[in-house]
Amino acid sequence: MTKPLLQMALDATDLDTAFQSVSRVAEQLDVIEVGTILAFADGVNSVAKVREKYPNHIVVCDMKITDASAILTKLALDAGANWVTVSAAAHIETIRAAKKVADQHQGEIQIELYGHWTFEDARAWYDMGITQAIYHRSRDAELAGVSWTDDDLSKMQQLSDIGIELSITGGIVPADLYLFKQIKVKSFIAGRALASDEGVSIAEAFHREIAKFW
């Protein structure tokens, strides 16, 4: 299995704050995500600015596209994103249209797993060549104050078995990484933890755990 990447989500409502939060840990990151909040707050201009400042990182634009996928995918990739996210709730033909534009621009589509998606959906995404999805810790788990449920882990394993690499997010901490060692992990996504005063040491802890299990 390839080594999971470390991804930071920038979810500030302005670019200055976002840049401040990423600057200290940027060298420890593989992927920088322009979160939905920042993308709406400042438009795809935020993607262009992140690309300009970080030319060598993978940049994701977290649009959670649900419709108008060809235009939105092009908007994100033209601005400098490598990957763009599409909602699992989008119609299969909407997802196919996004994939086509991504292929034309050497970009990749990531499916955001929200709503009542099924494994049949996941196989259809994989069959059209989509190999990435984003798995969020369930809101129910979050609300119940538990970290990762057996149900989450079982769903991740099934997606992994289909062939889909997962980017995992939702209050994830380095000590949890061992839970996912059987799963095809594309990246671990953190936000506030990496933006904190302990950001650098937390990033280092992520990399230590990644090296241990992959």
Task: Report, as residue numbers or ranges, the catalytic residues.
Answer: 36-37, 64, 67-68, 72, 112, 136, 139
Residue 111 CB, nearest approach to a second copy (Å): 12
How many Cα atoms within 13 Å fall on the side-chain side of residue 46? 27
Return d(Cα 124, Cα 210) in angstroms, integer. Answer: 30
3-state secondary structure of 14: coil
Residue 154 CB, nearest approach to a second copy (Å): 19
Residue 83 CB, nearest approach to a second copy (Å): 15
Task: Name the CA dihedral angle for 142, 147, 151, 157, rounded to a multiple of 10 degrees.
Answer: 120
Give residues in contact with a second copy (CB under 8 A): 11, 13, 35-37, 39-46, 63-64, 66-68, 71-72, 75-76, 87-91, 93-94, 112, 114-118, 136, 139-140, 143
Q: How far is CA 95 from CA 79, 92, 141, 147, in A?
A: 20, 5, 28, 30
Q: What string of DSSP letters covers 156-192?
A: HHHHHHHT-EEEEESS--GGGGGGGTTS-EEEEEESH
Residue 117 CB, nearest approach to a second copy (Å): 7
The secondary element (H helix, E strand) that includes residue 53 is helix 45-53
Q: What string of DSSP letters covers 58-93?
A: EEEEEEEE-S-HHHHHHHHHHTT-SEEEEETTS-HH
Residue 177 CB, nearest approach to a second copy (Å): 23
* Residue whose CB is less far from a second copy, 48 or 200: 48
